[in-house]
Structure 1
């Protein structure tokens, strides 16, 4: 993990980013209950503030998964997959995702988001 973070050349995959992304993803999904969760849009795109948007944290995890060797990828995947299941269950599909100006192949951007996930 450390090696890909150091050698990636990616703006967002830097030393410690994968750990931070995993913690942020867990933190977002932590509130108990059945109420839907809405990812918060980040107001700043710097590498620190961008984690305000949990979808960015998921982007970082996806980048790491794509770069890791098979065994490490499987290990990280075992941590991420159950979180993805909870994310899908606790967020709502965006019925207008196909009409957005920008499109993405990542499913986590096709869920409803709010300005602030804390209210």
Structure 2
């Protein structure tokens, strides 16, 4: 499955990143780039956070046609529900214009900035 503007493995890498944040119990810890994540072929090549993964998935959803989009959308919606349960929204007055454009950008992820 490949969307325009994304590399051939971008969706698989983004799904793996999103899953990796959602699956383990306890606080999220960013992994090392080289051993755990590799480098993706998309715009977020140096970002390992789930927000970057969700950005890539959104780009794929917007670029994929028909059945591929529907299948990916079903999967992403299930993951989004888990992401919402694992994060808390920032107050609207604390959102930057960029964060206000997409709901997943305005979420706080369990003290990940302290790692």
- The TM-score range, normalised by the shorter chain, is 0.7 to 0.9
Moved beyond 2 Å, runs of 4+: 37-40, 97-104
Could you say what secondary structure the match of 2:90 adopts? coil
- TM-score in terms of structure 1 length: 0.71
Q: Is the 8 A contact 1:91 1:112 kept in 2?
A: yes
> Residue 39 and residue 84 in structure 1: after superposition, are their counterparts in 2 closer, same or farther (change >3 A)?
farther
> Residue 55 and residue 39 in structure 1: after superposition, are their counterparts in 2 closer, same or farther (change >3 A)?
farther
RMSD: 2.3
User: Which residue of structure 2 lines up, in the alignment, with residue 49 of structure 1?
Assistant: 46
Q: Structure 1, unaligned stretches of length 5 or more? A: 41-45
Q: Counting helix residues as a fraction of each chain, which structure ranks higher?
A: 2
User: Which residue of structure 1 lines up, in the alignment, with residue 20 of structure 2?
Assistant: 27
Distance 1:14 1:89 in 2: 30
Q: Structure 2, unaligned stretches of length 5 or more? A: 31-42
Report the number of matched residues.
Answer: 100
Matches within 5 A, 1:62-73: 62-73=58-69
1:14 aligns with 2:14: no
User: Which residue of structure 1 lines up, in the alignment, with residue 93 of structure 2?
Assistant: 98
User: Which of 54, 59, 64 is residue 55 of structure 2 equivalent to?
Assistant: 59
- TM-score in terms of structure 2 length: 0.73
User: Which residue of structure 1 lines up, in the alignment, with residue 113 of structure 2?
Assistant: 115
